[in-house]
Amino acid sequence: MIKLLASTAVVAMLVSPVVAQTTTPPVATTTSDTSATGYNYTLATGDKSAETFIGKRLYVSEVDIDVNAEMTEVDQDWDDVGEISDLVIGEDGQVKAVLTDIGGFLGMGEKTVAVSMDDLVVIQDGDSPNDYFTVLKSDRAALESAPEFEWPEAE
């Protein structure tokens, strides 16, 4: 008897939202400029997802980087220095810095360094049109001697 009452209660809870729904179509609202709402963005040439950066390797190169190159593998002049862990986005919505975990071994002794977005070169992977190589014109020593980035403590 208890199982019957319990199952009836469960069925009643599951059906209640369906019964409460109305079949009246929602009233459509129109605006003269849909872009004013902020919900209508069209991708521009060069736009990339945060996924392009976060979790990807960061390479440094002491030689000039051809920004128009289409690479299929890591250039022999590039040095793998770490992994991009986060992005710092300013109040204006622009990416201010790319946070990279560098140094250490198996997570021990690594530190997070903020790299200016303007200093990075993003090169499309020729094998995968949605994958990129991220390269910084610098050397490993300069990056490893950079100050550690830390988010301020929440008050």
Domain-located, residue 109: yes
Which residue segment(s) compose the domain that 96 sits in? 49-144
Domain-located, residue 116: yes
**Region 72-80 average pLDDT:** 83
For the chain, the domain total comes to 1
pLDDT at 106: 66
Q: What is the dihedral of CA 30, 31, 34, 39, to 10 degrees?
A: -70
Cβ 112 vs Cβ 118: under 8 Å: no
Q: Is residue 3 pLDDT above 70, yes or no?
A: no
pLDDT band at 155 (very low <50, low <70, confident <90, very high): low
Q: Is residue 118 pLDDT above 70, yes or no?
A: yes
Q: Which residue has the tokens 């300013």?
A: 90
Q: Is residue 154 pLDDT above 70, yes or no?
A: no
Q: What is the rounded CA–CA span in Å between residue 66 and residue 91?
A: 32
Domain-located, residue 56: yes
C-alpha angle 63-65-68 in degrees, rounded to nearest 5: 160
Q: Is residue 129 pLDDT above 50, yes or no?
A: yes
